[in-house]
């Protein structure tokens, strides 16, 4: 089939057959489809969308472009389960969630992605740890998951290889928000990992790709239905992205916040609520807990007794990171040369935050990508980020900027001030957990 005719058909609103979709994806896999054609295809899908039938065909074709893991021969003794987020600013939930689920008896082969647009990527955060191999071969993945209970890695050459090119093109062609492409991209990676169940974190709000609840529900429904057609039971939780999740944004800074969370030194309440909601749903969906109360009790126990932190440390070591990383992370993580406070121009209570704008500041600092393949500065970012309802003034900063020069820091300070709206009276932040959706 001529690829340009497949693109033309979708551009004009036609429904692609499974054969046409397979032809396109096979071309991606063997290199006969050009990057320009991929760009044209993603833009056509962005404007014309796809039916569930098309999305399911696209997902299956992308899975078939590589290997699908089979855990049945590993005698794990527990369910294989994962979680995926649609992307947010300061979203380091996966780093906490994977070892917590492993500590409760689940197995988490987490195939994660890099940052897209203004949102950070789980894989980028893990690569802030020196020596950590984020793209091991499948034999290593199997060994680490069986031994520690979890492994946070990126797509290997064997898993849904056709998705990697589409994923990179979407990031720089303003087609990230396509529900059809998001669904196929997420599920091709997750189903390739051989999951028994999946829980989705669908971000909604000004800092999310899905800015309205209606959009988020449409995406959740698309993922749940498509996953169901591939025999992977899936639930979705809609969570707010009206403000940065947690208190940091930036790769090394978010790793530190993860360690603070797992160790119990500091647990931001809204971040904790999201983590507990997602992990509880995972335990319920896989029958590792019979009730939400039982699930929460198990999760709190593995945090309190330190087992989740131990598993995180084991995972880091097994994938090439320092054996003493948890205890001595300050020696290993990259550090910014300049740290400066961001003070509000006027005193007041934070009433609204341009979260997308905050995320773009991380990209501007070099902590996110503006072009494919860009090497990230792991040290830069924002810390101690104020949230809605909190008071800021000339002595109480709205954030701390981590930059590599005074000039960079000063520019980010000015930009950050523009991202915040203040009021004379405190306002309550919107609920962080909005809705649970099931099949």
Catalytic residue among 122, 175, 192, 286: 122
Query: Exactly one of 10, 60, 83, 164 is catalytic; which is it?
Result: 83
Q: Which of 10, 118, 189, 247 is catalytic?
A: 189
**What 8-state DSSP symbol labels residue 88?**
-
Are the CB atoms for 111 and 153 separated by under 8 Å?
yes
Is there a contact between 103 and 305 (Cβ–Cβ < 8 Å)? no
Helix or strand or coil: residue 2?
A: coil
Q: Exactly one of 118, 170, 203, 247 is catalytic; which is it?
A: 170
117: left (phi over 0), alpha (psi -120 to 50) or beta: left
Active-site residue flag, 286 = no
Residue pointed to by tokens 């603070």:
260
Q: Is 85 a catalytic residue?
A: yes
Greatest CA separation found in the chain? Answer: 65
190 among known catalytic residues: yes
* C-alpha–C-alpha distance, residues 41 and 34, integer Å: 11
Order of all β-strands in the sheet with 391-392 = 391-392, 348-353, 420-423
Q: Are strands 108-111 and 150-153 parallel, antiparallel or unpaired?
A: parallel
Catalytic: which of 10, 114, 190, 298? 190
22, 33, 82, 85: which is closest to 57 by C-alpha? Answer: 22
Place of tokens 């780093």: 95
Active site residue 112: no
**Of 56, 85, 119, 156, which is the active-site residue?**
85
23, 65, 82, 125: the catalytic one is 82
Distance in angstroms (rounded) separating the CA atoms of residues 118 and 219: 19
Beta bridge partners of 422: 350
Binning the chain into helix, strand and coil, the percentages to the nearest 5 are 45, 15, 40
83 is catalytic: yes
Cβ 154 vs Cβ 123: under 8 Å: yes
Rounded Cα distance, 137 and 243, in Å = 37
**Can you name the residues that pair with 348 across neighbouring β-strands?**
392
3 state DSSP class of 356: helix
Cα dihedral: 181, 185, 191, 196 (round 10): -80
Q: How far, CA to CA in Å, does 103 sit from each of 93, 98, 124, 238, 432?
A: 16, 9, 24, 25, 25
Task: Determine which one of 156, 185, 222, 280 is catalytic.
Answer: 185
Is 272 known to be catalytic?
no
Answer for the pair 173, 210: CB distance below 8 angstroms, yes or no: no
- Cβ proximity of 31 and 168 under 8 Å: no
Cβ-count burial of 31 within 10 angstroms (0-12 exposed, 13-18 middle, 19+ buried)?
Answer: exposed
The catalytic residue positions are 82-85, 122, 170, 185, 189-190
């Amino acid at each position: 089939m001529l690829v340009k005719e497949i693109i033309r058909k979708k551009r004009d609103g036609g429904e692609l057959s499974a054969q046409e979709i397979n032809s396109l994806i096979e071309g991606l896999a063997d290199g006969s489809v050009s990057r320009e054609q991929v760009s044209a295809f993603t833009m056509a899908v962005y404007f014309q969308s796809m039916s569930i039938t098309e999305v399911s065909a696209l997902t299956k074709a992308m899975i078939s472009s590589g290997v699908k893991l089979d855990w049945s021969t590993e005698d794990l003794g527990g369910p294989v389960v994962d979680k995926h987020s649609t992307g947010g600013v300061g979203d380091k939930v996966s780093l906490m969630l994977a070892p917590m689920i492993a500590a409760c008896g689940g197995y988490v082969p987490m195939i994660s992605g890099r940052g897209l647009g203004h949102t950070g990527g789980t894989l980028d955060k893990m690569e802030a740890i020196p020596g950590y191999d984020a793209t091991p071969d499948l034999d290593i993945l199997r060994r680490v998951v069986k031994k520690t209970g979890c492994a946070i890695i990126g797509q290997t050459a064997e898993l849904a290889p056709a998705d990697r090119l589409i994923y990179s093109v979407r990031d720089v062609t303003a087609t990230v928000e396509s529900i059809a492409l998001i669904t196929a991209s997420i599920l091709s990676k997750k189903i390739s990992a051989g999951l028994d169940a999946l829980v989705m974190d669908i971000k909604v709000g000004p800092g999310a790709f899905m800015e309205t609840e209606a959009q988020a529900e449409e995406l959740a429904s698309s993922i749940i239905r498509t996953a169901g057609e591939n025999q992977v039971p899936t639930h979705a939780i809609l969570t707010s992205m009206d403000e940065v999740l947690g208190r940091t944004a930036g790769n090394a800074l978010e790793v530190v916040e993860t360690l603070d969370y797992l160790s119990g030194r500091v647990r931001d309440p809204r971040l904790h609520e999201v983590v507990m909601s997602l992990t509880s749903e995972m335990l319920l969906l896989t029958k590792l807990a019979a009730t939400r109360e039982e699930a929460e009790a198990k999760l709190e126990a593995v945090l309190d007794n330190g087992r989740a932190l131990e598993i995180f440390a084991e995972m880091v070591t097994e994938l090439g990171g320092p054996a003493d990383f948890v205890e001595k992370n300050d020696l290993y993580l990259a550090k910014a040369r300049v740290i400066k406070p961001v003070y509000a121009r006027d005193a007041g209570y934070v009433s609204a935050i341009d979260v997308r704008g905050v995320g773009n500041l991380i990209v501007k600092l070099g902590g996110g990508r503006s072009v494919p393949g860009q090497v990230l500065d792991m040290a830069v970012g924002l810390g101690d980020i104020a949230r809605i309802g909190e008071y800021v003034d000339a002595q109480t900063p709205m954030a701390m900027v981590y930059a590599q020069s005074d000039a960079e820091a000063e520019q980010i300070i000015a930009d950050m001030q523009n991202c915040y709206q203040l009021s004379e009276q405190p306002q309550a932040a919107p609920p962080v957990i909005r809705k649970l959706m099931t099949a």
